[in-house]
């Protein structure tokens, strides 16, 4: 069963990925939170 992970921010349509398994999801989350592939996307966002 596929799952969807969406980066919360203005990622210009690049922040959504459909994953098929645990390892694929883990890799994508590492890209987001460890490698910071969307590093500039949250700078203009107001704090909650």
Specify whether the CB–CB gap between 36 and 43 falls below 8 A.
Answer: no
How many distinct structural domains can be found in the chain? 1
Higher-pLDDT residue of 46, 30: 30
Scan for tokens 């969307």, then name that residue.
38
Mean pLDDT of 21-48: 78
Q: What is the predicted pLDDT for the residue at 27? A: 94
Q: What is the pLDDT of residue 25?
A: 94
Look at residue 27 and give its three-state secondary structure: helix
- Stretch 5-19: mean pLDDT, rounded? 76
As given in the structure block, the two tokens for residue 21 are 């398994």
For residue 11, give its domain range.
1-48
The CA-CA-CA angle for residues 42, 21, 1, to 5°, reads 105
C-alpha–C-alpha distance, residues 3 and 5, integer Å? 7
What pLDDT score does 44 carry? 53
């Amino acid at each position: 069963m596929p799952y969807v992970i969406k980066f919360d921010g203005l990622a210009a349509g690049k922040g959504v990925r459909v994953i098929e398994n645990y390892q694929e999801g883990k890799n994508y989350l590492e890209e987001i939170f460890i490698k910071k592939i969307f590093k500039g996307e949250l700078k203009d966002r107001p704090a909650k």
